[in-house]
Each structure stands twice: as structure tokens, then as C-alpha cells.
Amino acid sequence: MKGQPTYEELQVKVQRLTERVAYLERLLWGGKRDKKAVQGPTLFDGLFNEAAASKASAIAETVEEIRKEAEKRRTAGKKKPGRPERYLYMGVPEEWHTEYPSNVNLDEYDIIGKDVERILHRTPARVWVECIERPILRRKGQKDLPSPVILQAPAPVAVLGGGHVAADFLAGLLVDKFVYHIPEYRQVKMYADSGVKLSTSTLNDWVHKTADKLYPLYETHVDDILQSDYLQADEVPWRIADRPGQSCRHGYAWQFRDARAQSHGTYFYYHKGSRAGEIPRAQLRHFRGAVQTDGYKVYDYFESVTGIVLLTCMAHIRRKFIEAQKSHPVQAANALEYIATLYMLEENLRSRGASEEEIRVQRIEKALPVIDAMEAWMESVQYQCTPDDALGKALEYAYKLWPRVRRYADDGRYLIDNNTVERGQRPTVMGRKNFLFSQTDQGAEDNAVIYSLLGSSEIVGVNPLKWLEYVLANMKPNDTEEELVKLLPYNFK
């Protein structure tokens, strides 16, 4: 018979349960953002050993300099310039007309001034059918000839084989679904309100056929993204409803984003919902450069790949310490102060438009000492927790990734975190909330194709509707690789 637990074991159990309750309360009641001001103990509070205290003291002047610049920047940012004329409707097309008083002979008056009113209008989307009449011509006088000359204008090239639907309609369908997150059944209702009766299955079929048409462009896009020498990678949860009578299957897509300042965009890759390490290994088998990821263990493989520099995400490390705030407020606050200092430095550099070389130098001079001090601090507090409590898990997570943390200082192009690639997942998250799931693996693959191309158009600053309409109208089945490259979002003018 198992003996009664000891007092120490009960203490550990109570602490674990307390942390679990605190975590669930944050999920239920807490804010959605974990990037918040740290309150409580300062950077140098808490229990330190001599080495940690020495390193913390050594960076005090650097930390104060970073904070002063941040405060100066924030104060300057509060001084808003005067609102320009026509602030609200800048960039909106205008239609002008002039209204004079009625029953007035204008020849008897001089215009001594004017008032201008601007009133915003909206015209609902117009759905219409283009009817193309193609007369069949026969040369006059040849009616009785065995082979008269017969002419007719060629039939228009269908955007989708056998489908009588235009590029502008398909572009609107996909943008409404994948950019504005309007599922097909709602679009069916919208079209019905305009007098057009369509079924959800018809729209689904058009989405699938459009994804098929775009697939060669998607492959070219993937090859182009992998030519970058700096990528960010992450996994995205996707639900697949392919088991009748059962709950949705939870799968994953992989996202790889060109993280250069002049990014060419991002792409999603889906293969049977797999989150296995074989996926990134295959995708990046020819890649050489920097890859920035979170701490998911499958990325450890790339530490040993020649030509790849593995970076990590400080935001993920920060989240771990935020989760430890309830149970270890002093230690968590110290960690978050170190991390906040690193982020303040990044904001200072970005706000003043620092060059990549200046960023590299400033990180070496100011960020690395803070990183070293935090490492010493982590070593000093590791015995104040157990491996299984929230602080212990945060320390273990951070310490495992610490060599990768330091590497962002080596190149001014590198970012401190993976937040840009995570922001690129927001359309997929919003889509998941609205149209809930894909019904098949094929549907998930279609989504990956479309999210990749439309998401990239937004990243490079191109109107996704105009870009997609142009591509669908101009892309041909026999386009060469060079012609496909010209159709990619970053080349659209």
C-alpha cells in the first residue's frame, strides 16, 4: 500500500494546482495581449548570488540610458500634429458638383467665397451577367457554294474550364472568404439579396478550381520565398472535419515567412495535418541562411545543419515568465524587466530609423550585457523553484534556447522575436472562427495555397483584390517560370 504523501510533496502539489488555477483564470478573464508593463520589483530586486548581482550592477548605466531614450521617444510621440484638411476621407475618389441658390440670375452676382461639404456614399456590390453575342458570318453571295467562307469571333477564354464565371467574381469570392473571413454560406445569402441564386457547393467548387489554377503560381512563390536568406517559421493549428459522426481532427499547417525588410511574403504548407519534423526538414533542405522559430523541439535539428543559423523568439520566452507571475511574482518580474529592457532598445533603434549596422553595434554594446546579466540571474534563481512549477519550466525553456537568443545581436537584419510570422497567422485564425474547419485534406491544401498568395499580397502592400483579379485574368496554363515570377505579388504594379 502506498504511504501517505509527505508535507513537502503536498506543498509541491498545492503550488502546481495554484499555478494551474491562475493560468486558467488568465485564459478566462485576462487580456489578450501578454506584452504589458511589468509592475512590482525592479530589475535588481530578488535573491541573487554574487556573480548575478555583479552583472546586474554592471548594466545599470546601460539600462538607464535605454529607458531615458524610450521615455523621451514616448513623450515626443504624444505631441500630435494638427489634423490635416479632409483627414477623414483622404484618398477616396471624389465626384464634384456645384449647387447655386435657386431662381437667381447668376449674371447679377459675383462669387466672393465658397463652402465645401463632403458626404461619404457607398454603392453596394454590383453583380451582373456579361452577355457576349458572337454572330456567325457568311460571305455574301456564297450561300449556295459547297464551302462558303464562315467567320465568327473566338469564344472568350474561360477563367475556369467549363465555368462561366469571370475573374473579378472569383477574386471577390476568395478575398471575401480568405481576407475578410466571410464563409460561403454567408456569401450565398449576400448574393441572394442581390438577386443571384447560388449554392454553397457551387462556391466551394469554384474555390477549389481556383486553387488548382493558382497552384503553379504557388509553387513558384514557394521557391521564391526559399531564396531568402532569413526566414521565420511556425506551425498553425487547422481543424479537419473528415470523420463523419466524430469530432474534428486537429492538424497543422506550417508557415514560412521571408523575414527580410523587403519581404516577398509568406507561404503555408499543409501535408495531412502533420506537425512532424520531416516537414520543415524537407521544406528547408536546400535553404541556407537564418531561421527563426519558437522552442518546438523539431527545430533543434537545424542546429547541426551547416549553413543554417538558428534564431529563437524572445516573445515566447516572455510568455513563460508571465505564466510564472502568480506563483513567483518577484522572480518573474525580474525576468520580465530584463526582457522589457531588450524590447525598449529595439523600439528606440526602430523609431530613429537606425541602419542595420548601427543596430548590430548597439545590440553588441547594450543588448548582450543585458542578456549575459539575465543568464547569470537565471542561474542564481534556479534553486528557488522545482522543475515542474511555472518558474522552473520558464527557466528550463529559456536556458535551452539561450544560445539562440544571443544570435540576434550578430546581424542588424535579425528580429528579436517571431511576432511577424505569428501576425501572418491571424487571417487563418479568423477564418477558423468563421468557417470553422476544412472538410478534407484537399480543402486544407487549397486553403494553404490561397492564404499564401493573398497573405503575401498584403505583406508587400498590394491590394489583394486587384492583384488576384489581374492574375486570374492573365495567368495561362502554359506560362513559363519567368512569366509566373512576374505575376507574384511583389512584382505587381
pLDDT of residue 254: 96
C-alpha cell, 471? 492574375
Sign of CA dihedral 353, 356, 362, 367: positive
- Confidence band of 369 (pLDDT split at 50, 70, 90): very high
Q: Beginning with the edge strand found earlier in the chain, give each strand of the sheet holding 230-240 in spatial order.
A: 266-270, 249-258, 230-240, 289-292, 308-311
Going by C-alpha positions, the residue among 46, 69, 50, 49 that lies closest to residue 338 is 46
Going by C-alpha positions, the residue among 306, 308, 334 that lies closest to residue 322 is 334
47, pLDDT greater than 50: no
308, pLDDT greater than 70: yes
Q: What is the mean pLDDT of residues 91-101?
A: 89
The pLDDT tens digits for 205-234 are: 999 999 999 999 999 999 999 999 999 999
Mean pLDDT of the chain: 86
Listed range (79-83, 307-311, 363-367, 446-450) with the worst mean pLDDT: 79-83
Q: Give CA–CA dist 379/132, Å, rounded.
A: 76
Listed range (35-39, 330-334, 470-474, 477-481) with the worst mean pLDDT: 35-39
pLDDT of residue 148: 93
pLDDT of residue 119: 85
- 3-class SS string, the chain: CCCCCCHHHHHHHHHHHHHHHHHHHHHHHCCCCCCCCCCCCCCCCCCCCHHHHHHHHHCHHHHHHHHHHHHHHHHHHCCCCCCCCCCCCCCCCCCCCCCCCCCCCHHHCCCCCCCCCCCCCCCCCCCCCCCCCCCCEECCCCCCCCCCCEECCCCCCCCECCECCCHHHHHHHHHHHHCCCCCHHHHHHHHHHCCCCCCHHHHHHHHHHHHHHHHHHHHHHHHHHCCCCEEEEEEEEEEECCCCCCCCEEEEEEEEEECCCCCCCEEEEECCCCCCCHHHHHHCCCCCEEEECCCCHHHHHHHHCCCEEEECCHHHHHHHHHHCCCCCHHHHHHHHHHHHHHHHHHHHHHHCCCCHHHHHHHHHHHHHHHHHHHHHHHHHHHHHCCCCCHHHHHHHHHHHHHHHHHHHHHCCCCCCCCHHHHHCCHHHHHHHHHHCCECCHHHHHHHHHHHHHHHHHHHCCCCHHHHHHHHHHHCCCCCCHHHHHHHCHHHCC
pLDDT of residue 354: 94
The pLDDT tens digits for 152-190 are: 999 888 898 776 899 999 999 999 999 999 989 999 999
Q: What are phi and psi of 159, to 5 degrees?
A: -65, -45
pLDDT of residue 33: 44
pLDDT of residue 29: 45
The pLDDT tens digits for 385-408 are: 888 899 999 999 999 999 999 999
The pLDDT tens digits for 312-366 are: 999 999 999 999 998 899 999 999 999 999 999 999 999 999 999 999 999 999 9
- Confidence band of 281 (pLDDT split at 50, 70, 90): very high
Going by C-alpha positions, the residue among 296, 323, 295, 321 that lies closest to residue 16 is 323
List the chain domain ranges: 208-311+421-491
Place of cell 515566447: 316
pLDDT of residue 245: 65
Q: What is the mean pLDDT of residues 83-109?
A: 80
Q: What is the mean pLDDT of residues 36-47?
A: 43
Assess contact for 491 and 456: CB atoms under 8 A.
Answer: no
